[in-house]
Amino acid sequence: MTRPHPSESDEPGLRVSHSPLVLLVATAFFLSGAAGLVYQVLWMRSLGLFFGSDMYGVAIILSFFMTGLALGSFLGGRLAQRTARPLLWYGVAELLIGAVALAFRPILGAFDPILQMAYAENAATVPLAYHALRVLVAAGVLLVPTTLMGTTLPLIMKHFARSSRVLGEAGAFFYAVNTLGALVGTLAAGFVLLPQLGIAGSTLCAAILNLLIGLVSIGAGIRVKASLREAADVRDLDPLPGLEIRPRRRLAQASLIAFGLSGFCSFALEVLWTRILLISFSATVYSFAATLACFLFGIVLGTRLIRRVVDRHEDPAWLFAGLELSCGVSVAVLALLLHALPGAFGSLLGSLAAALPGGHSYVLVVATLIASFPLLVVPASLLGATFPVALRIYTTNIEQVGLRTGNLYAANTVGAVAGSLTAALLLIPVLGAMASLVLIAGLFLCIGGGLSLAGGLWPRRHVRRSLGVAAAATLCFGGAALLVPYRVTLNFDQSTLADAELLYHAEGVQNTIDVVRARSGATSLVIGGNVEADTSDRQRRHFVLKGHLPLMLMDDPASVLVVGLGMGITLEATARHPGIERIDVIELSPDILAAQEKLAEINGNVVQNPLVHVRIDDGRLFMKLTRRHFDMITADPIHPKVSRVGYLYTREYYQSIRERLSDGGVVCQWMPIYQISPLRLRSALETFLDVFPSATLWYVEGHTLLVARRDAFPIDYALLAERFGDARVREDLASIGIGSPEELLDHLIMGPDEIRAYIADAEEVPLNTDDYPYLEYFVPTDLFVSSQENVRELARHLADPTELVTNLPRAAALALHASRESLARRMLERREPKAAR
């Protein structure tokens, strides 16, 4: 049932088509939403670099960002209630947001000495005091700007929602406008601002936008006051006339609680489906941006579709309940459909790559958008439609629209904080992502059922029937999703592990971990759908060499730092060296440490070696804050295409490594040459060489290793020969086909001069820095680049090893010269590494 909708000519409410002021403020609110999402991306990156990007750090950052929005909504509602010039205060808030954004990084830097003091590097786990400091820092830098952001919607609603008969439409309009801005901000940050301008440039652009919005809005607010139409009767005050006072208040409170719970479910849902989707898509910055864009588009679409209906519907309580019930059913259907996603996405990606020759740089993004949209648009649209409906029910008096908007949005945002934290830190580790998804579907049903009871709808036959149908559908689809057997999913649906035996599975706080054994007998470690390591001969070669090579170039190494535990193969090789007194291992995920029990036969149960000390921590943070020094550091990050991993390839990270090296200490950095273009590889090498000018490059069948010292880097043949005299070292190297110092030196393909000549082949090679994360934003576009493209260019700059090695016997020099003549041909004959790290 609907009632006639009043025309704009006789309604003093929102006049989008006739009011220049509405268009002006709507444009400002759109741009404000865009700037807000840009800030969220930038501030989460800055804080992640400052105190770690582990999941607990991310949870702290996100919770305070959302808490600020909730607090701002609450306070903004009260300010809106008391002011006759809400647009003026809206402009002031925007000005202050821009000013704080410009000061964000200096303010954050002021906390650095305190962070250094609180970091307890000798503790086995991060102490409570350090967690408390992270909370303090996040609160100190985030609460002020995000609180200001939260005030904006209540202030705007106070000015423009002048009649209850267009209350829902006004709420829908401005909510959609701001969310559409957030969608544009997501795409702008991910695809334009950060890749082109970096963090500082992006911050400046967003801050200038806020300052301009603030000045324009202050000007408009000075000229125009908010005025309410003098209502002739209660129908223009209460959007739901006809209900007695007590049931009306009960329904309003129920809508507030329901919208808060809906916020809990919606953000838990976003965390869950992001975890599941990115296992198929690969966790690149573009995959994150594309999935979030699809979610925000659904919010905008739902808000837009409900806009013309919400104020005409005579039973908004049932409309709200029906939306929540539909959310439950759609989420259950989504859970079932997600099982088919890996195969469908793999086929889609292959088809697009074949159909778009020359368009490989954006194939992954297009495929992600096409795959995400049909899965996310329905539940997201239903969620977007709930705000204007809840606003209409909760606002019992149009004169309190600003206050009620603030309360409602604050409740939803508090629910969002709780939902995201619960999903990431509790539901996924305890239940797993798929079971948690089904649980959230059930919670949506409970919200719909609760609204039906609070609104007195239960006696109606169609309500009971709808509840039964929704419950049955959710149970059917959700149950079917849970009955589907677990399948190890790989990015892009690679088929190499389709029939593998699952040895270990954990859905941890940090990531999803699988250990599987293929029919060939090779064991693989899969993290987030990406094969990070396996025991094939091709992969084992560079793992073993990473452990031995830097130690064989040093006199009497005693202390070693290994960043990244992986399968423990590199760690085992390191532990074989004589004279090593202590090996520290920094691993982000405790689940990888737990998985070592299934890898004991592969790595000799090395984590139980008394020399080995494993610390669960962020490797970059440890490198930044520890004051210890190490004779050798093995930096073994995963591929820079993965989101945030690019920060383990930046100049600042290498500078931290340099500061942690003892005099004469050696660093060994893995560098991929597959799924990375020659320009991006040059950038990675240039960045490393900028900090370690004497670096050398070693080639190991589809991979490279950068080895460097703080000082000059002579390679002593006599020392290598001495190291080969140790039986355990010699045996380990022989297992990967290296039986002599000459065969080891055959892997040395470039000295520092050759690396510089190789880099100089390109006209402009950008450095990868914390401010300008070039690799993270451009390497994902190199998905289809073969390692052979890099090998061909590297082979043109091969060094003469006899010029890099001292104390070289004549026979060894002749052997190296003979081998070097065929090295380029042998490099080009070798195939791609099968396991993409």
Biggest CA-to-CA distance, the chain: 106
Contacts of 777 (CB under 8 A, 6+ apart): 190, 194, 195, 285, 646
Q: What is the mean pLDDT of the chain?
A: 88
What is the mean predicted confidence (pLDDT) over 191-205? 95
In this predicted structure, which of 46-60, 227-241, 530-544 has the lowest mean pLDDT? 227-241
Work out whether strand 696-699 and strand 748-750 pair parallel, antiparallel, or are unpaired.
antiparallel
Task: Point out the least confidently predicted range of 43-57, 97-111, 741-755.
Answer: 43-57
pLDDT at 673: 93
pLDDT of 307-347, one tens digit each? Answer: 889 988 888 899 999 999 999 999 999 999 998 888 888 88
Q: Do residues 768 and 684 lie in contact, with contact meaning Cβ atoms separated by under 8 Å?
A: yes
Phi, psi of 582 (to 5 degrees): -155, 140
Ranked by mean pLDDT, the top range of 56-60, 601-605, 780-784 is 601-605
Q: What is the pLDDT of residue 829?
A: 78
Task: Check residue 231 and give its pLDDT.
Answer: 42
Checking if the pLDDT of 4 tops 50, the result is no
pLDDT tens, position by position, 780-794: 988 888 888 999 999
571 or 120: which carries more pLDDT confidence?
571
**What was the pLDDT predicted at 124?**
46
How far apart CA 47 and CA 111 sit, in angstroms, is 11
Strand, coil or helix: what is 3? coil
What structural domains does the chain harbor? 13-227+245-483 (1.20.1250.20), 546-809 (3.40.50.150)
pLDDT tens digit string along 744-786? Answer: 999 999 999 999 999 999 989 999 999 999 999 999 988 888 8
Per-residue pLDDT at 65 exceeds 60: yes
pLDDT at position 237:
61
Please choose, from the candidates 298, 333, 340, 303, the residue with its C-alpha nearest in 3D space to the C-alpha of residue 441: 333
Q: Quote the tokens at residue 639.
A: 């591929």
Average of per-residue pLDDT across 404-433: 93
Residue among 304, 466, 315 at smallest CA distance from 381: 304
Neighbours of 48 (CB within 10 A): 19
Least confident of 229-233, 525-529, 562-566, 734-738: 229-233
pLDDT score for 227: 55
Reply yes or no on whether the pLDDT at 242 is more than 70.
no
Lowest mean pLDDT across 348-357, 473-482, 806-815: 348-357
Return d(Cα 169, Cα 16) in angstroms, integer.
11
Give the pLDDT of residue 229.
47
Q: What SS3 state is found at 1?
A: coil
Q: How far is CA 261 from the centre of its chain?
A: 25
| Residue 1 clears pLDDT 70, i.e. is over it | no
The CA distances from residue 795 to 383, 413, 643, in Å, are 56, 56, 30
359 pLDDT tier (thresholds 50, 70, 90): low
Answer for the pair 105, 445: CB distance below 8 angstroms, yes or no. no
pLDDT band at 693 (very low <50, low <70, confident <90, very high): very high
pLDDT at 37 over 50: yes
**Banded model confidence at residue 226, pLDDT cuts 50, 70, 90:** low
